[in-house]
Structure 1
Amino acid sequence: MNNQLTSNAEALRLFFTEDIYLVKSNEQMPLVEPVTLKVEQATNEVISLPKEILLTDVADEVVNLIVEEPKPEIKKVFDFKYLGKNQKNILILVNDKENEVSTEQGRELLRKLVNAIGLTAKDFALLNYANYTNALYDDLFSFFTSELILAFGVDAKQLGIAESPLHQLAQHGKSRIVFTTNLHDLDADQASKKVLWTSLQQIK
């Protein structure tokens, strides 16, 4: 329903008898740009993160990123000082901290053993392991290329290889190896010398 009492122009003139003037103002009304309000519907939905981006996983990734990369291992380089010529790639290891090779008794036993299997000083390299206790089998092999190793007083664990019975011939990699006791003690051990002698007969 229209609330206006009348819309007749003649009737309206009877009510508005005074002149109406339009007044100009020097002040301009500021332009107001329309603002568009975007109303989004609130939701109570719980958003679950994928397993790949869970906080614990992210933390693990961050830890992995800040861990320093391992430094490359510096390869040991040995300059072995030895006796003999190593022409037959035979390495004789002794282990004596007090003597160059062994005691007088030990040196005499070594001479007998070497002569018994037909070797001369040109055939083998004689190394005192007491001067190179951190040398492993791989270090020795890369230097001497030994096809046969006679180890007096040096055991398999020191060379970083699998254990093998004493006084008996064993195979490791490209080398045949005999582990036995040090020369001085071996000289007084008749039973061990007998077993060792039997093994040495196999390498003639």
Structure 2
Amino acid sequence: MTASVVPALSSTGGKSFLPSIDETSSTSKSVRELNGDAAVIRAQAGDLHSTSTSLHHRTRDYALSLSRNDWGRKSPADLLAHLSELGFAWRDIARMVGVSVPAIQKWRRGERITGDNRARLTQLLAVLQMVTDEYLISDPASWFEMPIVDGVAVTPIDLYVAGSVELLLDWASHHEVDSTVVLDKFDADWRQTHVDDNFETFVAEDGELSIRPRHMS
């Protein structure tokens, strides 16, 4: 739109052409309105993202509950045999279930298991089934052992043991694509607490803490 102009006398008696006061006010108002509209759209987009994420998580939780019920029909020995077939070490199974390796061995022999421990076994298997069937991760045992970021001693096993199953599944599904976002949600101080001894933290050019192999320093 071409701004309307009105002639104005200059100090030398000539005419200058400047936007009128009314037109300037109208233009400023339009910019304010556009900024307001943009803010509303941003808020609506944020609300939509939050709603869709919540719905996704509720749907996933429901799928996990159905899977847990199915696995719960099997004996503990069968559940452990399946975990072993997937390639998981007994120490890792024990850690994720929250018991000792001797307890795992007793269940393999058919000795009594509590309801809570049986539920933990079925939860682990339900998560593994979703990771393999829904998110197409082959060899889940080695994937669970793989560091989320090179040089940082945090793996999907650590996420699971910490109770961050939702975060683990987000990582498996690439819902959270940025690995540093996953680590930030797991432990905001991971750069100080979980960096491997062969790596070090440093302040990058953008002013953020990053990590690098020590031989590069």
Higher RCO (CA 8 Å, separation ≥ 6 residues): 1
For the pair shown, the structure with the greater C-alpha radius of gyration is: 1
Quick check: which one's helix share is greater? 2
Say which structure is richer in strand: 1
Scaled by the length of structure 2, the TM-score of the pair is: 0.26
TM-score of the pair, normalised by structure 1: 0.27
